[in-house]
A = this chain, B = another copy of it.
Amino acid sequence: MTVLAADSRAQEPVSTRRGRVLTGFRPTGDLHVGHWAGNVGNAVRLQDEGYDCYYFVADWHMLTTHYDRTAELPALVEGIVLDLLACGIDPARSVLYLQSDLPEVAEMALLLGMITPLGWLERVPTYKERLRDMAERDVANFGLLGYPLLQTVDISIVRGELVPVGEDQVSHLEISREIVRRFNRLFGEVLVEPQPLLSDFPLVPGSDGRKMSKSLDNAIGIRDGEDAIRAKVKSFITDPLKVHRGDPGRPEICPIFHLQALFSPDRLQWIDEHCRSGELGCVQNKTNLADRLIEELRPIRERRIDLAKEPGLVSNVLEKGRELARPVARETLAAVRDAMGFSRP
């Protein structure tokens, strides 16, 4: 993959472009199989289908829950950019940039905050969830409450039209649509109201059966090598009633089976039948899954190792992204300022 190829989008006539898609990635740790099967894989697919993709690394968003981990920030940003490139995000076709490289986002967030009712923010379910999940940490800050507002600006400032969301997340976008509508009602039709782009984000279980998550320490990383993958797959829970080979299993409650649905769809029916009949034991089943994961992740891992060797690669990619995204952000902010009366006497 030549990640710094000439910009093919510039040659492409505007009329053939599909809508502008916006997605952010929090640099809170290494990507894992859950991301890869979820928003990252989806982002690659949309890029390959010819959407006008704006993808950003949400370093400011990371502060809302990890302001005490900023010393790791440069390495986390470097890591996620390499992960995204290795997974197939191609800076020649997608605009890949760093959120904090657009200071216009901060100014627009300040302006839109003046018309964003506190009640709207306080009602966002993920806000309450975060407060609850992180009760032991000190995160009830102004920035956390403002998370959906900042997201709204991330979308609007680059005139994002489509935001990929799972069916259960459509409501998350609603507050952004409401803020945009309120702005346009007060100050004129300046901002684009984003629409959800319904996407299939499967629930990927981790080794303990809960949602795969780095913080739960139950994840298979996309950088994991053969030995790590085998060891991690071995540690997965399975149907507790299937103890020996020969015992009938219940695939629907088995995390291994759910991963196979994603990574071995061609063999799924066979697995289902032979698990239920007892002919397929868990050890063999796990070995099969590990083989498949190793096969699928090998090219990503190898590509990532190669990319990490190119000096200045991440910096160049982000610089190119900034050059593409910033003029758009500047133009939107100028329109917002103008609509709100912020031009000098």
Contacts and interface: CB of A to CB of B under 8 A. Distances in A.
A318 B344 contact: yes
Interface string A75-108: 1011001000000000000000010110110110
A256 to B, nearest CB: 36
Contact of A342 (B59, B72, B141): B59
Nearest to A100: B342
B64 A114 contact: yes
Interface stretch (A143-151, A192-200, A265-273, A278-286): A143-151
Nearest to A119: B140
Contacts of A77: 344-345
In the complex, which of the residues A73, A107, A149 has the most CB atoms of chain B within 10 Å of its own CB atom?
A: A107
Interface residues of A, number: 55
A186 interface: yes
A234 to B, nearest CB: 35
Nearest to A109: B110
Contact of A143 (B116, B144, B186, B343): B116
Contact of A145 (B75, B115, B118): B118
A173 interface: no
Contacts of A63: 111, 114, 340
A81 to B, nearest CB: 8
Interface in A326-345: 337, 340-345
A121 interface: yes
A114 B140 contact: no
Contacts of A118: 140-142, 145
Given A117-B140, A149-B142, A75 B345 contact: yes
A246 interface: no
A121 B145 CA distance: 12
A116 B141 contact: yes
Given A63-B114, A142-B145, A142-B146, A70 B345 contact: no
Given A72-B341, A103-B103, A118-B145, 18 more contacts: A63-B114, A63-B340, A64-B114, A70-B187, A73-B342, A78-B345, A81-B345, A103-B106, A106-B110, A107-B107, A110-B143, A110-B150, A114-B141, A117-B140, A117-B141, A117-B142, A142-B146, A318-B344
Q: Which 7 A-B pairs have the closest CB atoms?
A: A73-B341, A114-B143, A70-B341, A78-B345, A106-B107, A63-B114, A113-B142
15 contacts: A60-B110, A63-B340, A70-B341, A72-B341, A73-B341, A74-B341, A103-B107, A107-B107, A109-B110, A110-B150, A113-B141, A114-B143, A114-B144, A117-B142, A315-B345
